[in-house]
Amino acid sequence: MNLLINGLNGKMGQEVLKQAQMAENFIVVCGVDKINSEVYSFPTYTNPDDIKEKIDVIIDFSIPSGSLSILEFAKTHTIPTVIATTGFSEGELKTIENYSLELPIFKSNNMSYEVSVMADIVAKLAVLLKDSDIEIIDTHHGQKLDSPSGTALILADSINSVLNNEMYYEYNRESKREKRNEKEIGIHSIRGGTVVGKHTVSFLGKNESFEITHTVDSRSVFATGALKAAEFIIKQENGLYSMKDLLL
């Protein structure tokens, strides 16, 4: 498959390039980034409109504005696209949904298989431990732009979905002077160092607690997942797909 990497010069773009070059079924034919680079054996672009290569699939690890730009290109040329970027606004998410009416889009806030397993587990725990207070902590390196992480939201949404979507997310208690509400899920972010990713969900009950933690030690996990998603999405009809579809 002829692959375009959007966000090529970023840490994840570089990891996707590394993994794709070792794979037998991918050829990286070009990349897009806000900074042009001539260090590669293939063309790189700052403007998708300049792309001349034949593209079979796109993997996007960029920023929200970069994702929407590459989706416009993908729509014009009907190219299946994997969106691994996080930090979208509600309006931007709606725009992505609209694009999915005209091309296949695979979107996930986390490309790790084990995170999907964790989301399933914490949903089941939320039913079994329904009287517990639930807190989520996400820890990442100091260069991460969005907070909370997309993965923290995946976990919170998975829990909320089995609790009739009655919970709300409390991101910051700094200015609050009141007792914890039983309908809240606390979400907290730690940023620093070179931590690739760590997420802990705590179920805090009376006189006992239960915690489950997932830790990522290498970005290769996300790159491998993105390539699997690319193999999947290229075979699909127009629509918006996620890790749940890949794991079925």
Out of 18, 52, 124, 144, the active site residue is: 144
Nearest to 97 by CA among 243, 239, 248, 226: 239
Range 113-216 has CATH code 3.30.360.10:
yes
pTM to 2 decimal places: 0.79
Average pLDDT over residues 119-125: 95
Active site residue 140: yes
For the chain, where are the alpha helices, taking DSSP H only? 11-22, 64-77, 90-99, 113-128, 150-162, 220-233, 243-247
Question: Does 247 score more than 80 pLDDT?
Answer: no
Question: Does 62 score more than 80 pLDDT?
Answer: yes
Dump pLDDT digits (tens) for 90-106: 999 999 999 999 999 99
Dump pLDDT digits (tens) for 142-156: 999 889 998 999 999
Active site residue 141: no
Out of 107, 140, 199, 214, the active site residue is: 140
What pLDDT, on the 0 to 100 scale, is given for residue 113? 85
Most confident of 36-40, 112-116, 194-198: 194-198
171 contacts 187 by C-beta, under 8 angstroms: yes
Q: Where does the pLDDT of residue 40 fall: very low under 50, low under 70, confident under 90, or very high at 90 and above?
A: very high
In CATH, what is the architecture of 2-111+220-247?
3-Layer(aba) Sandwich (3.40)
